[in-house]
Amino acid sequence: MSIDIPRTAITIEEVAAAAGVSRSTVSRVVNGSTAVSPAALEAVRQAISELNYVPNRAARSLASRATMAIALVVPEDTSRFFGDPFFAAIVSGINKRLSRSDYVLNLIVASDDPQDKATAYLRSGAVDGAIVVSHHTSDTFIDRIAAAVPVVYGGRPLREREHDHYVDVDNVAGGRVATEHLLGRGRRRIATITGPLTMHAGVDRLTGFREALAAAGLAEVAVEDGDFTSDGGAAAMQRILDAGQPFDALFIASDLMVRGALPVLARAGLRVPDDVAIIGFDDSPVARSVTPHLTTMRQPSLAQGECMADVLLAMLSGGEPPYVTILDTELVVRDST
């Protein structure tokens, strides 16, 4: 008498390996999701057929518990978030992309997470993935979120790891081009107000500034941190004036900081651009609301938001988007130089 010994059931991991895709992609195909590329769909179906895979009903039930929600995590206080046009453009870009998908956006604004409330919520299965923008070296709670759900960063993380996905602009090139523009206007005593040096955007724009000065054989007059806020720009501008070193130009690493710096210069009797040429960064609505209208480096914030959403959606559908996406900046010349 012969006894038929049943073959061990094929697992979803074996199907994923045979199809050359992730486990989550197989789950989406099995559960009828449309968020899968045609090539991945065909590869999974072929592997299922060849392996004679029969989905486990309990596993399918668990796998289908997608929330269809994505979190936008902003590790800043609410005044910074609602007062900075950069965030409005980022949210618009993300929402524009998600409007063409089945996902909804949850917004979490938190300067830190001392009681782990936001972290616990995001790790509880309340969202399928997260986009994190404006993160600092001190934001260690983000690491715990990234250990639980797929994460895309807006801007290069300072604690960058091999498999981090992020979308950024070329801040080094932006800082360099901005400074070269001032040099091209004949300015030789150039100071800068940086963003926070706990963020790569602040560090990289300062690096570009210094590269341009070094190539011209010049030394920086002053470097002050303005923290990307209007008040921070005003305080940094006052510190530069108090230092007493003459300057004829400023590279200020955000338009908001320029808005804070301009009244301080006016009170000191310095005219823009006659006495001091100024270039900002962002090309936010602030650039056209100040007087004189601001020469600035345009960063494509709306496109950044769309691209971050694209990368995360690709991750959630089992695709393999690029780990790093870098967008270009553009010089916009107006009256302040």
Q: In the 8-state DSSP scheme, what is residue 243?
A: H
Type of residue at 7 = R
Q: Angle at the Cα of 131 (from 169 to 199), degrees rounded to 5?
A: 50
Tokens, residue 295: 């020469």
Tokens, residue 229: 């806020």
Structural domain boundaries of the chain? 12-63, 69-169+302-327, 171-298
Q: Angle at the Cα of 320 (from 29 to 171), degrees rounded to 5?
A: 145
In the prediction, which pLDDT does 51 show? Answer: 84
Pairing verdict, β 249-252 and 277-282: parallel
Distance CA 255, CA 336 (A): 12
Whether 69-169+302-327 and 171-298 share one fold: the answer is yes
pLDDT per position in the chain (337 positions), as tens?
Answer: 333 333 456 777 888 899 998 877 887 777 666 667 888 888 988 888 888 776 654 344 344 567 889 999 988 878 888 888 999 999 999 999 999 988 999 998 876 666 677 788 888 888 989 999 987 776 677 888 888 889 999 988 877 777 889 999 999 999 999 999 999 999 999 999 999 998 899 999 999 999 999 999 999 999 999 999 999 999 999 999 999 999 999 999 999 999 999 999 999 999 999 999 999 999 999 999 999 999 999 999 999 999 999 999 999 888 888 999 999 999 999 999 9
Q: Does domain 69-169+302-327 have CATH number 3.30.420.480?
A: no
Type of residue at 325 = T
Q: Report the DSSP beta bridge partners of residue 326.
A: 168
In the prediction, which pLDDT does 62 show? Answer: 44
**Tokens 């986009």, residue?**
131
- Spatial contact of 236 and 210, defined as CB atoms under 8 Å apart: no
Tokens, residue 190: 């150039």
Tokens, residue 29: 């195909």
In the prediction, which pLDDT does 114 show? Answer: 63
Sign of the Cα torsion 331, 334, 336, 337 reads: positive
CB half-sphere exposure, 332, CA atoms < 13 A: 18
In the prediction, which pLDDT does 60 show? Answer: 43
Q: Report the DSSP beta bridge partners of residue 281.
A: 297
Q: Say which CATH architecture domain 12-63 belongs to.
A: Orthogonal Bundle (1.10)
CA proximity to 286, closest of 273, 296, 277: 296
Tokens, residue 60: 């399918």
CA proximity to 312, closest of 32, 17, 93, 27: 93
Distance CA 297, CA 177 (A): 8
- Spatial contact of 134 and 155, defined as CB atoms under 8 Å apart: yes
DSSP H or E stretch at residue 297: strand 295-298
- Spatial contact of 287 and 293, defined as CB atoms under 8 Å apart: yes
Angstrom CA distances, 23 to 11, 45, 79, 151, stand at 10, 13, 41, 17
Q: What is the CATH number of domain 171-298?
A: 3.40.50.2300
In the prediction, which pLDDT does 158 show? Answer: 73
Pairing verdict, β 295-298 and 330-332: antiparallel
